[in-house]
């Protein structure tokens, strides 16, 4: 994985957008900046982009989000295995879901969603996040994770880095594949059980059965058609005989009546009713003439407008007319007077508005003067506050500079104390080493005595000496063995002396580390003191400049004289006092000094405030006077407008009343309108009285004509009732009985005609009379006689036809029995059909058994064809399942074999141990290079001194040694991972260089330069500007009020940065 371009925003100290930072072609870069500037955040952005994780907050991305940011974005483009990839993640401060997208810029493959993107990244790099943080990214404060990890934790990390987990993955996938294959085979076997054992053979058999069932159904269908025809013919003959017999019975059993006697009574009643109807019609004509004359006279009066309703309405209008005219005249005069008063009031309002304009102009002038005084006061107050804040900042910076100076002096004292203590620890370590050497010499002497005893114990006098080869003397005695207690005491002494020497050496190393740390702390305090002094000088200059600007704004009476003390001198005095004051007393002293410095400015601000308040009071009084006048005009204008608006309304109401009165007069009859003047206001009481008298005369005339008309109407209604009663009697005594006889005769003829139709061919010899359409008594009597003769002829013909139909029905029934007998025998392979005997064959359900047999045969044929189709449809599926089962069982056998081969954990341990030894070999070589040949690694990750051969725990290393050991392991891991998996094209180191001395720093940077061969990127983070001297590309990080910012330094800027730190270091020695 080789980063190419990085952009991010909303992360920790970077609230705004950063980048894109182009890393293409860069090999060794330094990310440099002051402590707390935001250097490590650059690496956290890369970690967040790749794994959606950070190295210090347990994966909680919200801990990375900048304060106040609404979202956090990161966009990283990197190269891996010859392809370019881009990963983009967006997190939100609210509950909006985060978005994650990984895209292959060469193939345009895309992966969306957090889990999918995380899994894809791990699969690409073949590194988990923990392994990435241990091998590729060494975060600040955690770069020794692999070095100091426990055995189990280190094994997990190494397996991930070495790619050994691929074996475990293959084994797990083999187990998963075995389970999947087992499930698939089980489902395939279940599916095969649901199919026929031999689909092809079953299809042939079912086809033969379907053909046989179809043949039987067709033959039964032919027999069914024949029987249905014969049954229909026999049933028709039976129905014909039954119909003729029923018609004969019905004709003989009909109702009989004496039509001649009934017709004679009807004729007498008809003659009487005709005389009564003629008399009533004559009287009705006379009264109709009288009603017509009255209607004519009333119509003529109506044409003149004299109806009862119009005359009553006219009387009402004329009675109220004199009073209404008087009221209208009075209202007309009042309206003219109101209009004259409103014209006078309008002139008075114009004079008041002219006076208001003058008052408002004066108020505007005073208001402008108040605004100018207020603005001048506000500007002076803002300038005073700015000067006060600048002075406060300068005094705070002075207090800070004093504190930094005191801390620098304390750090110098502590560094001197630690440096002086090293001599005592060196003396103790040297003494312990001498005691170890003395104890080892004593142990060697004891051991040599035992060796002499072992060599001479079996020798006798005269035998050659094993040392000088000369014969042993006659009195030779073997050397005595050493005392066991003395040997044990000597060995214990050696162990104790070595332990004491180790403790002395550790104490010396700790003392040296403390001295180095104290020296670095003193250097840092020197830098802080100088920075505090610089900030103080900047704040002091800003305070003086702002006070000078404030002096120029003072009123003329407050202008400074040449003899007043300078503000700059007073400020310097205050800063000196604050710098030398204890912290707990600084706040109170700062307040007093600040008040003294700005006392004159406060007095000037009070003068500006008094002038603004006076101008405001004058402007307020003028505004109030103009407002009062405006309110008075508004009230009077509102009243005037209401009155003015009321005049047109009153005029309109007056006109409406005149119009309504004129419309009512227009509705009067024309003769009455001619008696009144055309203008409403010109009508007098006399005009109204004369018109009212004419109305009374016309009302009396119309009332008399209405009486005569109503009398005629009453008589006509009585005669109409008499004629209705006569009509009812005619219907009851003539029309009703005559209609009843006619209906009787019609029913008699219906029965005769029905009997004639039942005779069929014999009907031509019978003469039936035509139906009578006339309603007279004579016509109906003649029609009744002819109908009686036809009735006798029909009865004779029906008797003959009944005998012939009975014989034909018997013949047809015999034919039906013969045909049914052939089916009962079950010949030609047909099933036996049970049919009824005798007249039972004529029943509608007599052939149901035959229909059922045909239906059964058809159902059997359909069922066999369906079974045939099912079997044919299973032929291909069964063959495919059989082949799949054979292949699946073979694959399952292969997977189980692979799983068994990978199940042994010894193979994984062997592979891990072998690659761990390779890692330690490469890391020892690099550790030796980094430590100038001093250190290497043992097989259990302990550190061995190549000079003294002493073995130490990595936890006992100093800060610089720990960093170099971790760096060596990381470089070795990157190299080994590139051998066994995808090439790691990047290494990130966060801080750690501060713990190195000058020589170690130079050596480490030289090794890193050597590691950047090919296309590998190595990025180092440090607050030491000296790191920039060893690299070409420097990314400068600085933090301002708006947050952190990064930029690439030019070569000149990089050299200036290095010279600045070198100059600072020389000045600290002065």
Residue closest to 962 by CA, chosen among 1012, 1005, 990, 996: 996
- Examine residue 844 and state whether it is found in any structural domain, yes or no: no
Whole-number pLDDT of residue 77? 95
Q: Where a domain ends, among 599, 630, 659?
A: 599
Per-residue pLDDT at 139 exceeds 60: no
**Mean of the per-residue pLDDT values for the chain?**
79
Identify the H or E element spanning 546: helix 484-551
More confident call, 1036 vs 772: 1036
- Give me the mean pLDDT over the 1052-1061 stretch: 73
- Examine residue 500 and state whether it is found in any structural domain, yes or no: yes
Whole-number pLDDT of residue 564? 43
- Examine residue 406 and state whether it is found in any structural domain, yes or no: yes
Round to whole Å and give the CA distance between 383 and 245.
137
Whole-number pLDDT of residue 1007? 63
Q: Where a domain ends, among 541, 567, 599?
A: 599
pLDDT of 11-49, one tens digit each? Answer: 888 888 998 999 888 878 888 888 888 888 888 888 889
Helices (H), 17-164: 40-51, 114-125, 129-135, 145-148, 151-162
- Examine residue 163 and state whether it is found in any structural domain, yes or no: no
Structural domain count of the chain: 2
- Give me the mean pLDDT over the 776-787 stretch: 76
- Examine residue 372 and state whether it is found in any structural domain, yes or no: yes
Phi/psi class of residue 949: alpha, beta or left (left: φ > 0; alpha: ψ in -120 to 50)? Answer: left
CB 2 within 8 A of CB 80: yes
Whole-number pLDDT of residue 468? 62
Angle ∠(883,889,892) on CA atoms, nearest 5: 140
Strand partners, 83: 80
Q: How confident is the model at residue 341 (pLDDT cuts 50, 70, 90)?
A: confident
Per-residue pLDDT at 1065 exceeds 50: no
Query: Which two three-digit tokens encode residue 195?
Result: 């199919």
Residues in the chain: 1070
Tell how strand 71-80 and strand 2-11 pair up: antiparallel
Domain containing residue 1031? 1-126+982-1070
Residue closest to 62 by CA, chosen among 94, 88, 100, 38: 94
For residue 255, give Cα distances in angstroms to 258, 744, 745: 11, 8, 10
Q: How confident is the model at residue 1069 (pLDDT cuts 50, 70, 90)?
A: very low
Per-residue pLDDT at 638 exceeds 90: no
Whole-number pLDDT of residue 111? 93
- Per DSSP, 471 falls in state B
Per-residue pLDDT at 1013 exceeds 60: no
Per-residue pLDDT at 578 exceeds 60: yes
Three-state SS at 584: helix
pLDDT of 936-960, one tens digit each? Answer: 888 777 888 877 778 878 777 776 7
Round to whole Å and give the CA distance between 340 and 38.
89
Whole-number pLDDT of residue 505? 85
Per-residue pLDDT at 863 exceeds 80: yes
pLDDT of 589-614, one tens digit each? Answer: 888 888 888 887 888 888 888 888 88
- Examine residue 836 and state whether it is found in any structural domain, yes or no: no
φ and ψ of 136, to 5 deg: -110, -40
CB 284 within 8 A of CB 720: yes
More confident call, 276 vs 107: 107
Least trusted range by pLDDT, from 149-163, 189-203, 723-737? 149-163
Tell how strand 71-80 and strand 83-92 pair up: antiparallel
CA-only gyration radius of the chain, Å = 67
Strand partners, 78: 3, 85
CB 993 within 8 A of CB 35: no
Whole-number pLDDT of residue 562? 36
Q: Where a domain ends, among 562, 581, 599?
A: 599
- Examine residue 748 and state whether it is found in any structural domain, yes or no: no
- Examine residue 771 and state whether it is found in any structural domain, yes or no: no
Query: Which two three-digit tokens encode residue 384?
Result: 């005073």
Q: How confident is the model at residue 561 (pLDDT cuts 50, 70, 90)?
A: very low
What is the CATH classification number for the domain harbouring 7?
A: 3.40.50.300
Residue closest to 712 by CA, chosen among 294, 1016, 402: 294
More confident call, 371 vs 223: 371
Q: What is the pTM of this model?
A: 0.36
Above pLDDT 90, what percent of the chain? Answer: 4
Strand partners, 990: 1021
Whole-number pLDDT of residue 1051? 79
CB 977 within 8 A of CB 987: no
Per-residue pLDDT at 261 exceeds 90: no
Whole-number pLDDT of residue 187? 87
Angle ∠(228,233,236) on CA atoms, nearest 5: 120
Per-residue pLDDT at 1062 exceeds 60: no
Identify the H or E element spanning 102: strand 99-104
Per-residue pLDDT at 1040 exceeds 60: yes
């Amino acid at each position: 994985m080789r980063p190419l371009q990085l952009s991010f925003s909303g992360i920790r100290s970077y609230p705004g957008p950063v980048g894109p930072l182009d890393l293409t072609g860069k090999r060794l870069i330094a990310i440099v900046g002051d402590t707390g500037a935001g250097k490590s955040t650059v690496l956290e952005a890369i970690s967040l982009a790749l794994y959606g994780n950070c190295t210090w907050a347990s994966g909680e991305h919200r801990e990375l989000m900048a304060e106040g940011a609404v979202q956090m974005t990161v966009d990283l483009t990197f190269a891996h295995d010859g392809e370019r990839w881009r990963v983009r993640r967006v997190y939100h401060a609210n509950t909006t879901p985060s978005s994650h997208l990984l895209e292959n810029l060469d193939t345009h493959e895309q992966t969306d969603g957090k889990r999918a993107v995380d899994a894809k990244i791990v699969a690409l790099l073949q590194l988990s996040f923990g392994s990435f943080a241990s091998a590729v990214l060494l975060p600040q404060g955690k770069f020794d994770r692999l070095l100091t990890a426990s055995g189990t934790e280190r094994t997990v990390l190494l397996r991930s880095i070495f790619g050994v987990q691929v074996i475990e993955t293959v084994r797990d996938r083999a187990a998963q594949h075995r389970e999947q294959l087992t499930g698939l085979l089980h489902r395939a076997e279940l599916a095969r059980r649901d199919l026929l054992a031999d689909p092809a053979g079953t299809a042939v058999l079912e086809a033969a059965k379907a053909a046989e069932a179809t043949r039987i159904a067709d033959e039964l269908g032919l027999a069914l058609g024949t029987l249905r025809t014969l049954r229909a013919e026999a049933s028709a003959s039976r129905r014909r005989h039954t119909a003729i017999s029923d018609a004969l019975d019905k004709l003989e059993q009909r109702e009989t009546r004496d039509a001649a006697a009934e017709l004679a009574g009807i004729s007498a009643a008809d003659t009487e009713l005709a005389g009564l109807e003629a008399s009533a019609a004559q009287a009705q004509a006379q009264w109709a003439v009288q009603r017509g004359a009255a209607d004519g006279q009333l119509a003529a009066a109506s044409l003149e407008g004299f109806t009862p309703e119009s005359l009553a309405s006219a009387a009402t209008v004329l009675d109220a007319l004199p009073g209404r005219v008087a009221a209208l005249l009075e209202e007309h005069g009042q309206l003219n007077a109101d209009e004259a008063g409103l014209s006078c009031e309008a002139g008075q309002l114009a004079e008041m508005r002219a006076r208001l304009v003058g008052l408002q102009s004066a108020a505007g002038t005073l208001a402008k003067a108040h605004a100018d005084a207020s603005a001048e006061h506000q500007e002076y107050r803002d300038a005073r506050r700015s000067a006060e804040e600048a002075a406060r900042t300068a005094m705070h910076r002075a207090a800070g500079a004093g504190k930094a100076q005191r801390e620098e002096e304390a750090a110098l004292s502590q560094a001197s104390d630690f440096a002086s203590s090293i001599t005592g620890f060196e003396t103790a370590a040297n003494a312990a080493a001498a005691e170890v050497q003395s104890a080892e010499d004593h142990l060697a002497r004891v051991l040599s005595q035992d060796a002499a005893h072992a060599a001479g114990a079996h020798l006798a006098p005269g035998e050659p000496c094993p040392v000088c080869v000369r014969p042993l003397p006659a009195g030779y005695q073997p050397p005595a063995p050493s005392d066991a207690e003395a040997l044990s005491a000597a060995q214990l002494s050696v162990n104790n002396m070595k332990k004491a020497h180790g403790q002395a050496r550790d104490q010396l190393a700790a003392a040296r580390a403390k001295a180095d740390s104290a020296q670095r702390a003193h250097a840092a305090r020197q830098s802080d003191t100088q920075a505090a002094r610089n900030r103080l000088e900047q704040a002091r200059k800003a305070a003086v400049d702002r006070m000078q600007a404030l002096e120029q704004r003072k009123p003329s009476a407050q202008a400074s004289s040449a003899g007043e003390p300078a503000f700059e001198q007073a400020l310097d005095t205050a800063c000196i006092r604050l710098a030398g004051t204890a912290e707990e007393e600084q706040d109170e002293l700062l307040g007093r000094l600040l008040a003294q410095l700005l006392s004159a400015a406060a007095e000037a601000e009070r003068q500006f405030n008094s002038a603004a308040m006076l101008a405001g009071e004058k402007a307020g009084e003028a505004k109030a006077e103009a407002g009062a006048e405006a309110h008075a005009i508004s009230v009077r204008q509102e009243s005037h407008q209401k009155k003015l608006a009321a005049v047109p309304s009153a005029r309109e109401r007056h006109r409406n009343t005149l119009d309504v009165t004129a419309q009512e007069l227009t509705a009067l009859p024309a003769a009455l309108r001619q008696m009144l003047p055309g203008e409403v206001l010109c009508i007098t009481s006399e005009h109204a009285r004369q018109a009212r008298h004419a109305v009374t005369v016309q009302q009396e005339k119309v009332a008399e004509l209405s009486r005569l008309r109503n009398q005629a109407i009453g008589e006509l209604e009585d005669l109409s009732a008499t004629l209705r009663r006569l009509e009812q009697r005619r219907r009851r005594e003539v029309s009703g009985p005559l209609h009843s006889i006619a209906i009787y005769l019609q029913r008699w003829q219906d029965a005769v005609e029905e009997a004639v139709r039942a005779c069929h061919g014999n009907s031509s010899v019978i003469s039936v009379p035509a139906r009578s359409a006339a309603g007279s008594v004579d016509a109906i009597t003649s029609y009744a006689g002819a109908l009686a003769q036809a009735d006798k002829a029909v009865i004779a013909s029906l008797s003959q036809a009944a005998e012939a139909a009975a014989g034909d029905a018997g013949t047809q029934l015999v034919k039906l029995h013969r045909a049914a007998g052939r089916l009962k025998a079950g010949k030609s392979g047909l099933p036996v059909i049970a049919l009824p005997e005798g007249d039972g064959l004529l029943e509608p359900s007599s052939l149901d058994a035959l229909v059922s047999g045909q239906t059964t045969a058809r159902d059997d044929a359909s069922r066999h064809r369906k079974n045939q189709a099912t079997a044919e449809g299973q032929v291909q599926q069964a063959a495919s399942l059989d082949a799949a089962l054979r292949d699946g069982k073979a694959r399952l056998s292969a997977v189980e074999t692979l799983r068994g081969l990978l199940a042994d954990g010894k193979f994984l341990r062997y592979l891990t141990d072998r690659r761990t030894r390779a890692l330690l070999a490469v890391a020892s070589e690099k550790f030796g290079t980094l430590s100038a040949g001093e250190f290497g690694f043992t097989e259990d990750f302990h550190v061995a001194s190549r000079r003294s051969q002493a073995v130490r725990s990595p936890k006992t290393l100093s800060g610089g040694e720990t960093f170099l050991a971790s760096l060596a392991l990381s470089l070795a891991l990157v190299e080994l991972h590139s051998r066994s998996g995808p090439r790691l094209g990047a290494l990130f180191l966060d801080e750690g260089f501060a713990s190195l001395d000058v020589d170690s720093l130079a050596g480490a940077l030289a090794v890193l330069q050597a590691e950047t061969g090919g296309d590998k990127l190595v990025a180092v983070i440090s607050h030491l500007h000296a790191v920039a001297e060893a690299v070409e590309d420097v990314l400068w990080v600085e933090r301002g009020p708006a947050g952190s910012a990064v930029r690439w330094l030019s070569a000149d800027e990089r050299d200036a940065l290095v010279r600045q730190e070198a100059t600072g270091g020389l000045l600290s020695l002065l």
